[in-house]
Structure 1
Amino acid sequence: MYKKIIVTVDMSSFAKAERILQRAAALADQGGEIIVLNVVEDVPNYIVIDLPQDLVTEAIRSAEEKLVGVCRMMKLTAFVDIRTGPPASCILAAAEEHQADLIIVASHVPNISNYFFGATADRVVRHAKCSVLIERR
């Protein structure tokens, strides 16, 4: 079905990772590629002063370790891509760079704040140049 699938994993809802990775494995072509993507958001400068210097580095290391571990546990061959920056922009850039034909995004049920600020999944759906699957469960 799909040759290259970007699977976005938010470490704050890591429990959903296995389920969306199973979905990606089921949707991938024989020999298809799965890219597991996590985005570590930049910390604003006015907050950085009060935080440990290696906070972002540690978040990247931890995310990579957990994602490689879950892929290994599932016996899933996947490339792990960790980026820093605004989540929606990073997801869209990764999809373009990897020439993905599907992005899978786990999303929560929208609440009132989404109508004012928008969610990452909303932005990805609006601007992606490939198909997007929103996993809601």
Structure 2
Amino acid sequence: MYARILVAVDLAKPDRARQVLAQAQKLCDPDGTIRLLHILSGPVTLKLRATAMAGLLALSGGADPRILPVLRDGPVEAQIRAMAEEDRVDLVMLASRLPGMPKFLHDSSATELTRHSTISVLLAQTPNPERNPHHV
């Protein structure tokens, strides 16, 4: 069990975010905390910030007091690392899926975090509907 978990989610993919959050709830101590993080990129307006916070609050459901929604803006990998260090988290969780060839050839934020992090990083894989049992 982990005392402090950081769950970075993409609100554009709420089903995947819910799956990762559910896994984090199973791994978190009863007295632990789960930082539910969404990172805004590009020009950030008050309306965008309010919409994103509403999305985080809807995702967390309000039933689990361990879940604390957080918004940040800037480069994804840098913001995840900064928050993980500031909060001294025990585990960083990210949604991932089996990559297609274009993703495989280019490093993702998840790949960079797992390569260079001193904190445990769990990539919660979700199935890619484009893949079938014949993929290697």
TM over 0.5: yes
Give the structure 2 partner of residue 102 of structure 1. 91
Structure 2, unaligned stretches of length 5 or more?
127-136
| Larger RCO: 1 or 2 (CA < 8 Å, sep 6+) | 1
In structure 2, the residue corresponding to 1:107 is in which secondary structure? strand
Q: CA deviation at 1:33?
A: 0.6
Structure 1 runs, 4 residues or longer, greater than 3 Å off: none
**Matched residues in 2 for 1:111 and 1:57: separation?**
35
RMSD (CA atoms) = 1.6
Q: How does 1:54-69 map to 2 (within 5 A)?
A: 56-69=45-58
Q: CA deviation at 1:15?
A: 1.5
**Matched residues in 1 for 2:70 and 2:90: separation?**
17
**Matched residues in 1 for 2:34 and 2:68: separation?**
6
**Matched residues in 2 for 1:80 and 1:94: separation?**
12
Give the structure 1 partner of residue 133 of structure 2. none
In structure 1, the residue corresponding to 2:13 is in which secondary structure? helix
Give the structure 2 partner of residue 12 of structure 1. 12
| TM-score, scaled to structure 1 | 0.83
**Matched residues in 2 for 1:56 and 1:23: separation?**
31
Give the structure 2 partner of residue 37 of structure 1. 37
Query: 2:36–2:56: 8 Å Cα contact kept in structure 1?
Result: yes
Give the structure 1 partner of residue 117 of structure 2. 128
Structure 1, unaligned stretches of length 5 or more?
44-54
How many percent identity over aligned positions?
A: 28
User: Which one has a larger percent helix, Structure 1 or Structure 2?
Assistant: 1
**Matched residues in 1 for 2:90 and 2:82: separation?**
13
In structure 1, the residue corresponding to 2:61 is in which secondary structure? helix
| TM-score, scaled to structure 2 | 0.83
**Matched residues in 2 for 1:115 and 1:107: separation?**
12
**Matched residues in 2 for 1:100 and 1:58: separation?**
30
**Matched residues in 1 for 2:58 and 2:13: separation?**
16
Q: CA deviation at 1:13?
A: 1.0
Q: CA deviation at 1:115?
A: 4.1
Query: 2:7–2:93: 8 Å Cα contact kept in structure 1?
Result: yes
In structure 1, the residue corresponding to 2:60 is in which secondary structure? helix
